[in-house]
Amino acid sequence: MKILILTHANKEYDASGINGAWEFLPHYFKQLGHDVVTVKKSQWYLYIFKFLKFRPDFVISIGRLTGLATAVQHILGLRFGALLVHDLTDHPHFYHSEKWIRFIAKNHDHVVTPSKYNLFKYKCNSFIMNGSNFKPKKAKPEHDACYLGQTHSFYNIEELVKSCKQKDIKLKLINNLATDKVPETLARCNVCVLPISWDSSTKMMDYAAMGKPVVAIKPNLAEKIGFPAYYTDDLASGIRYLLDNPKEADAISKRARKWFIKNSGNWKTQAKKYLNLLKHIKNKIL
């Protein structure tokens, strides 16, 4: 298949870099024998030229502005044989408004999401969970807890840092570290933290892939998909509880790894699922 990916990212897959779903997936699409062109944010102005030259079977847009562009393309009927797919991967905060999300979800040939919340609320067509290439790793603990990921305001990281200091908890923030260094750093932390109510972040998969015990804010959408964690309305107190109760932390750790194996998989596995979905869409629509 010929797949054109229109993304808000500015770089492609690099094993030593910080990688999200739409840096991993194109890499494995290519590895699995498909012809892939990625139009990054710095190249958006070249999209129409790349589209007409490449003549893809599929265009997959990721992000609100790219989704808006392919939605308008869909409305105008300027597909030239390509099927327009949008991947509703980002947290709704990044999509500006509910109306924007619903407009994008309505005006594509197919909408895929890793979030069951998105799947039902925005009437997406398909669900493919995020993956992780991490594996369980043991190391001597250096930190009580760690948080992996972005530090946007809605993650409340400043409050988390403050609360941990008050309870004398050594917290490690991992938000600017090469991907191949992250597993070792996570392994040196006793507990991982999920500070937002969400059900599809890649940090969840990374935590579970490594079989790490997680403390998660409550209420939480992650609880609705069975993500194993100690759910609490006070994260610092939850961290302290698991540190003081290692048997319970170990039980959550084991459940997390089993949950990951059952529900997710490495990025190559998830890429295969995505490609099978694209084939199904093509056979169904064309």
- Does residue 137 form part of some domain? no
Whether 47 and 72 have beta carbons less than 8 Å apart is answered as no
Residues 124 and 8 in one domain: yes
C-alpha to C-alpha distance for 180 and 278, rounded to whole angstroms:
30
Q: How many domains does the chain contain in total?
A: 2
Owning domain of residue 56: 2-131+266-285
Check which CATH number belongs to the domain holding 51 and give it. 3.40.50.2000
- Same domain for 87 and 41, yes or no, is yes
Q: Are residues 123 and 15 in the same domain?
A: yes
* 199 and 127, same domain (yes or no): no
Report which DSSP code applies to 44.
Answer: G
Query: Could you write out the DSSP letters of every residue in 51-69?
Result: HHHH--SEEEEESHHHHHH
Are residue 23 and residue 78 in the same domain, yes or no?
yes
pLDDT tens per residue, range 157-181: 999 999 999 999 999 999 888 888 8
pLDDT tens series, the chain, 286 aa? 999 999 987 776 665 565 677 889 999 999 999 999 999 999 999 999 999 999 999 999 998 899 999 999 999 999 899 999 999 987 777 787 889 999 999 999 999 999 999 999 999 999 999 999 999 999 999 999 999 988 888 888 999 999 999 999 999 999 888 888 899 999 999 999 999 999 999 999 999 999 999 999 999 999 999 999 999 999 999 999 999 999 999 999 999 999 999 999 999 999 999 999 999 998 877 5
Whether residue 276 is found in the same domain as residue 225: no
Nearest to 115 by CA among 149, 90, 151: 90
pTM for this one? 0.93
